Amino acid sequence: MKTTAIKCFLIAALAATAGVSGCRKNYNFSNGYDRPPKIDTAGIGDLDTSLSRIDSSGFAEARKFPGLISIVEPRLQNYNVEVDMNYKLLSPYIRINVVPGNWISTGLYAAPGELVKIVLPQDSEGLTVQVGAHTDNVGNKVPMLRPAVISTRKLLLPGVNYVRNIYGGTIYLIPAAPVAKKMTVTFSNVVKSPDFVLGQTTSAEWKEMLRRSNVPVFEMRGERFIITMYRKMMLTMLDRFDAEAVMRKWDETIIKDYNEWYGLEDNPVDVRDQAPTTPHRFVLDIQISLGSGHSGYPCMAYLDWHSDFIDTAVINKGASWGPFHEIGHNFQMSDMWSWGGSDALGEVSNNLFVFKIASRYGRKPPRIYSDEFVTPALAFAEKVDAAKRFSQVTDVFQRLVPFVQLFQRYGYGMMTAVSKAARREARVPIVDEVRKNFFFVQASLYAKTNLKPFFDQWGIVVSPSAVDEVKHLPLLTEQLWKKDIRL
């Protein structure tokens, strides 16, 4: 009885459904298929793309930093920039802390709140635009001297693109990967940045251009090093330096005292020794996220660092401490031999570059050759105590002394040998004891001497297995740990 009732109900329901599905309704709305397709390469929908419209919402903050741009500064239209997309990818075995990135300078600047039009060729892909060099997020700072984030990025597509930054900023193009070609990118509603470009601009021409410009931020560009600086501060220093000499000096320093000292080359036989082909960058800002300066890409520092970059005599004697220090952080091999822990070299091995730079000019860096650093370190090393440890040397400048002693005795090529060996290790150490062992073995091999007594006197403990690796070498007999590095 129940079965018969259910069957009757299902038949009725199916019949009702069939009746509904067969009914036609005329709804009065577009079905979405009748309109012709529109090509929107900018991805902006109905956004107003008038280049004459200005978003002034950021003017109050931009006036403080980085700065506004006068209406008398010419806005360039349909301005072509040739972009070289080719650069060399580096082997992961380079094993330095920070490899320089691939921002491509355009020499252009976006005025605060003004819409910039960018036209890419149809065969271009994987290109990003960045407006603003000051990429630190300072939202954790009290008080904040500028808005937390004042740079912006946007992926570009073939055809017409638009970008706006309410604070303005230097314009960069960033490729996703190297491509062996050059392309022409067209910009509209931009201003010319008063950049110095080594090999293209004379120092006199650039200084005159900087004086006439209203653009608040500019770049000094070499082949291996680029500094982003603040026009107002630089105007007070123009009579103190020659821009060509300064940027040649920085390029030379990067090549000889960083790349070559680490055994990195432009065209190496072994790809693991490939030097970076994109330039290192330093950006000066009114406020940064950490310290008075920090490493990274780009390295960042406060505006009062301007003078550290422009005196070639100061560079030659290893006294441009801040820039050398932060670039040194980028080059540290923290994974391989620059160990951490209670006797960490985090704020030590990055400063060894200061000594290398000064030594090339027959100088000694003035900052750390005083009695307060060297004398206590030597006293610790001379003390006979099997229980002493390097961690008891708490001052990071004092921890430099044993490394400088080794370099002065056996030559600065020791660092080159250690670095090249580090790039050839199959595995990255995961404990600091192994990193100490690695440095001990490689330093001993380079010195052709078993350096165990030296490491013992400095309280740097190495394992028996590491000692076994160099047991074929003659044991150190001279009391190298007593050497005064100031002499």
Q: Is residue 359, in this structure, part of any structural domain at all?
A: yes
What CATH number is associated with residue 446?
Answer: 1.10.390.30
Asked if residue 199 and residue 261 are part of one domain, the reply reads yes
Q: Is residue 24, in this structure, part of any structural domain at all?
A: no
Paired tokens of 482: 């007593």
Q: Is residue 25, in this structure, part of any structural domain at all?
A: no
Among 269, 295, 330, residue at a domain's last position: 330
Q: Is residue 362, in this structure, part of any structural domain at all?
A: yes
**Mean pLDDT estimate for the chain:** 92
List C-alpha distances in Å: 234 to 237, 239, 314, 323, 393: 5, 10, 17, 17, 40
Q: Is residue 74, in this structure, part of any structural domain at all?
A: yes
Flag whether pLDDT at 435 surpasses 90.
yes
Q: Is residue 363, in this structure, part of any structural domain at all?
A: yes
User: Looking at residue 319, what is its pLDDT?
Assistant: 85
Cα–Cα nearest to 223, from 255, 183, 193: 255
pLDDT tens for 138-158 read 999 999 999 999 999 999 999
Asked if residue 261 and residue 139 are part of one domain, the reply reads yes
Asked if residue 244 and residue 101 are part of one domain, the reply reads yes
User: Looking at residue 20, what is its pLDDT?
Assistant: 44
Helices (H) and strands (E) in the chain, counts: 14, 15
- The DSSP line for 32-63 is SSSSPP---TT--TT----TT-B-GGGHHHHH
Distance CA 359, CA 355 (A): 6
Among 296, 315, 330, residue at a domain's last position: 330
Paired tokens of 165: 């930054």
**DSSP category for residue 91:** P
Asked if residue 152 and residue 68 are part of one domain, the reply reads yes
Asked if residue 433 and residue 354 are part of one domain, the reply reads yes
User: Looking at residue 365, what is its pLDDT?
Assistant: 82
**DSSP category for residue 306:** G
Asked if residue 336 and residue 325 are part of one domain, the reply reads no
HSE value, Cβ hemisphere, 13 Å, CA-based, for 66: 33
Distance CA 151, CA 32 (A): 38
Q: Sort residue 413 into left (φ over 0), alpha (ψ -120 to 50) or beta.
A: alpha
Angle, vertex CA 376, rays to CA 372 and CA 379, nearest 5 = 155
User: Looking at residue 9, what is its pLDDT?
Assistant: 44
Asked if residue 456 and residue 312 are part of one domain, the reply reads no
Asked if residue 256 and residue 336 are part of one domain, the reply reads no
At residue 48, the 3 state secondary structure works out as: coil
Torsion sign over Cα 244, 250, 254, 258? positive
Torsion sign over Cα 12, 13, 18, 21? positive
Asked if residue 312 and residue 198 are part of one domain, the reply reads yes
Asked if residue 254 and residue 158 are part of one domain, the reply reads yes
Angle, vertex CA 322, rays to CA 320 and CA 324, nearest 5 = 70
Asked if residue 231 and residue 185 are part of one domain, the reply reads yes
pLDDT tens for 290-346 read 999 999 999 999 999 999 999 999 898 888 999 999 999 999 999 999 999 999 999
Q: Is residue 158, in this structure, part of any structural domain at all?
A: yes
Flag whether pLDDT at 234 surpasses 50.
yes
Helix residue ranges per DSSP H, 59-176: 59-64
Asked if residue 441 and residue 326 are part of one domain, the reply reads no
Among 330, 352, 372, residue at a domain's last position: 330
Structural domain total, the chain: 2
Range of the domain at 205: 58-330
